[in-house]
Amino acid sequence: MKIAFLAMAGLVMGVVGGATVGIGLGLAWIELFSTSEFEGYAGMLVFFTFMPLGALIGGLGGATLFGMAAFRDHEVAIARRHMPHERG
């Protein structure tokens, strides 16, 4: 259950972060390549191309990373070592 929850949390955070990065990259693209702003072309390019791509890549990456981290934490459970003076 922990793995599924962390994968979903990674998905949500990845989508938001990826969309934000996508918008930033889209705005940089517009400035770098002097994209035409005729009839809102520049805005459509950013919000219909860069933002969805960023959200898709960020969501997949976030879900994968968080899911793998949760799986490895579950897989590599380290037992607590007992000190010589402790009973156990």
The string of pLDDT tens digits covering residues 30-76 is: 999 999 999 999 999 999 999 999 999 999 999 999 988 888 775 55
- Asked if residue 82 is part of any domain, the answer here is no
Cα(61)–Cα(18) distance, integer angstroms: 9
> Within 10 Å of residue 63's Cβ, how many Cβ atoms?
20
- Asked if residue 11 is part of any domain, the answer here is yes
Number of domains in the chain: 1
pLDDT of residue 74: 59
pLDDT per position as a tens digit, 2-35:
888 989 999 999 999 999 999 999 999 999 999 9
Please state, in angstroms and as integers, the Cα–Cα distance from residue 28 to each residue in 8, 17, 22, 32, 81, following that order.
30, 17, 10, 6, 53
Cα-Cα-Cα-Cα torsion 69, 52, 27, 44, nearest 10 degrees, comes to -170
Q: Kindly indicate the confidence band of residue 81, based on its pLDDT and cuts at 50, 70 and 90.
A: low
Full residue range of the structural domain in which residue 23 is found: 2-74
Cα(19)–Cα(48) distance, integer angstroms: 11
